[in-house]
Amino acid sequence: MKLATVLAAAFLLLAPAAQAQQSESLLDQIIARGVLRVGSTGDYKPFTYQNPESKEFEGLDIDMAASLAKAMGVKLEVVKTSWPNLMGDLLAGKYEVAMGGVSVSLERQKKALFTIPYMVDGKAAIARCADKGKYGSLADIDKPGVRVVTNPGGTNEKYDREHLREAQISVFNDNVHIFDEIVESRADVMITDASETLLQQKLRPALCALNPDRPFNFSEKAYLLARDSALKDFADQWLHQAIETKEYQAVADKWLK
């Protein structure tokens, strides 16, 4: 009986410590550390871009990352990553959130979490304006002799590999200058997010977005999170409030218009 009493008392002493350890969420760790680490590729305007001279990051999602850090009461640290390494770096703990035009996908959902979406998007084509009439549909693009350029490791390459059988697909590693491949006639078409085609036709007048209002598929953009329910709940509520208070719209207007 005495042994049982001793064991019960020991359990009562250890239980609060065990509960405290179990309740230590990733959100708690971020707040305790005082820094939110956000992974971003820095090569996808208007969402994320790393200035080659200053090395500073800018863009729609960089502004939103600063807003998220402020809501947490911590500093923001942007960690450079790449599309092929986006998930691996997240799982390795190099950052807690990935931001920068990340498309929601079931493959990514298997390994991580997404916030609520902040943008509806989809795959669209961009080509030289002189060739605008040639590539009005996916069937027009998927023909022998059509040169499709794509960036590696993301949803663009995945979409091309799954839907193009006849067109020639080439991978170009520099996502910032990839559209110049079309301008300089080294490629004919790129299939990317509709939002990016609209921006690139402004930045490069020789190019025209072909179907931004009628994308080939349905897609959404959201922020990719390490698996932590407390972090997701906080990020969802922050983003919900940013959308409802028009904070997000003001940031989007700044970068998209």
As a whole number, the mean pLDDT across the chain is: 92
Closest to 138 in 3D by CA, of 157, 124, 120: 124
Delineate the domains of the chain, giving CATH numbers in brackets.
26-120+220-256 (3.40.190.10), 123-209 (3.40.190.10)
**Alpha-carbon gap, residue 188 to 178, rounded angstroms:** 12
Query: What pTM, to 2 d.p., does this model score?
Result: 0.81
Q: Residues 109-141: pLDDT tens digits?
A: 999 999 999 999 999 999 999 999 999 899 999
Closest to 121 in 3D by CA, of 141, 105, 133, 108: 105
**Alpha-carbon gap, residue 241 to 231, rounded angstroms:** 15
| Other C-beta atoms lying within 10 Å of the C-beta of residue 253 | 11
Reduced to 3 states, what is the DSSP secondary structure of residue 239?
helix
Q: Residues 3-18: pLDDT tens digits?
A: 445 444 444 444 444 4
**Alpha-carbon gap, residue 170 to 151, rounded angstroms:** 9
